[in-house]
Chains A and B, each alone.
Chain A
Amino acid sequence: MTSTTVTRATFFAPTLGKRLATIALLVYVVYAAATLGLSLDRVEKGIGYGARFLAGFFPPNFTETDILPGLLESLQIAFLSSLFGTALAIPIAVLAARNLMPAWVTWIARLVIIFCRSFHPVIIAIIAVKAVGFGALAGIIALTFASVGFVGKLLSEAIEEISLKQIEAVRATGASFMGVIAFGVIPQVMNRFIGFVAYETDSNLRNSTMVGVVGAGGIGGTLFSAFQRFDYSFVAGIIICIIGLVMIGEVLQIYVKRVFR
């Protein structure tokens, strides 16, 4: 009795295409690593520096009175940019919804949304700092742009998914355009909208701790200057505070979403 081996094609067996893709990926990784200047020697040295760095973090320093004002300013930036961003995003999202508006209007609104989305908040913050000077206002402007892009995109997609039957019903009663928006559109997207705003506020909170690096207010500026004077224990203290703040924000966001489900 001879034993026969049975070979079967399985889901997990790599096909020729998969193998080629893997090889291509590996080749790319090696090539890109070489262009980035990744070498073992450099990594070894870097880990040495990193260890010294981490040692400098302990003990974290919370005592300085700079942390609290910076954090509060970050919070203010986050709240106000969410407010302004959302207020601007609602009309833009309505204009960008293809089921409510003629095509040429949606294209203009879409262009505005794409424009707001394609630049990182920090880049807009640099421009805003040049325009209105250092301080929280530049941060608010930068994050307002980001919020318009984010809320505008998601809200316009949500509006495009609504049921048109209710719109027709409202229109049949002779409602004006604003009436259609208020009683046909808004009730259908309200819950999702609040979810977007909660997420956006959370994300603004995170970004508001960063725009300070370019002088646009908030804790980021304090952090950056602590970095530049090699005050690593203070850096550690600030970072722990930021993580704490962001965690609180995330918990609140989940709570708000649950309330409005």
Chain B
Amino acid sequence: MTATAELQRWIRFTPAQRIARFAVFFAMAAAIAWALKTIQIIPEFLYDAPEQVVDMGKRMWPMDWSHFWPAVWPALVETMHIAAMATILGLIMGIPVGFLAARNATPFPWINAIARFILVATRSISTLIWALFFVAMFGPGALAGALAIAFHSIGFIGKMFSEGVEEANKGSIEALQAAGATRMQQIIMGYWPMVLPTFWSVALFRWDINVRESAVLGLVGAGGIGMVLNSAIDLIQWDRVSLVLFTIFIVVILIEAMVTQIRKRVI
């Protein structure tokens, strides 16, 4: 009687699953408790924060529109060029690495491992740090910015690509192999048409991200609208800061709307 009652008790997860879930929640709680306990916050700064924010808000309004055509617009155009070039360069560099990282297209585990390391490494070095490198190499300017974003994009593009390639249909590849296609031919005739939708969605998505990223490059001297933002902040011209922020906001919204529309129609 008790045995059947025991059997009928419905438990959603196996004990191992429950332990794993508990471990995750426990680790999260522990991490947050540790962070809250040890974080260093200077309370003196915190007291007048509301005043500071209100003061900043007041100085930001009204925006200095006379600054738009002489300074903000050219910088915005430069930002768009940086984002577009960085996306193209990132695709050129990221796609081969993506193919090398995909286990089915490149059946050599050690090459996969190296390619995967390249993907993680390029992604974990943030755009600003890449920009510092390239500013040191090529001098301040938009070129350094475009290269910085392109190198940072390799990781994302390559990762999405290798996932797309790994999901590719095996049948058509086997058909090509049976016909005696070389590895390069298999990639061009077999994998490439299958990952073409991935290509377009990754290219659009990354371009969208890159526009946002290129807005901050100016902080380290790598060109774009961030330069205008940075100089306005350094000169405490808050009405120009708000103008630049507003411009970035509008551009980002427009681009996102555009990408969504293209995606709906094409992909």
Contacts and interface: CB of A to CB of B under 8 A. Distances in A.
B124 interface: yes
A35 B83 CA distance: 13
Name the residue in B36, B56, B128, B212 with the highest tally of chain A Cβ atoms < 10 Å from its Cβ: B128
Contacts of B256: 114, 118
Contact of B233 (A126, A131, A134, A220): A126
B31 A137 contact: no
B216 A243 contact: no
A259 B20 contact: yes
Contact of A46 (B35, B88, B121, B138): B138
Contacts of A122: 128, 216, 219
B42 A213 contact: no
A132 B45 contact: yes
A186 interface: no
Given A80-B32, A118-B249, A118-B252, A243 B121 contact: yes
B90 to A, nearest CB: 13
Contacts of B17: 259
> Interface size for chain A: under 10, 10 to 19, 20 to 34, or 35 or more residues?
35 or more
Contact of B38 (A12, A33, A76): A76
Contact of B137 (A46, A83, A130, A214): A46
Given A28-B84, A120-B213, A243-B120, A131 B56 contact: yes
Interface of B: 17, 20-21, 24, 31-32, 34-36, 38-42, 45-46, 49, 52-53, 56, 78, 81-82, 84-85, 88, 120-121, 123-129, 132-134, 136-139, 141-143, 146, 189, 193, 212-213, 215-216, 219-220, 223, 229, 233, 245, 248-249, 252-253, 256
| 3 A-B pairs with the lowest CB-CB distances in the bound complex, closest first | A133-B45, A246-B124, A118-B252
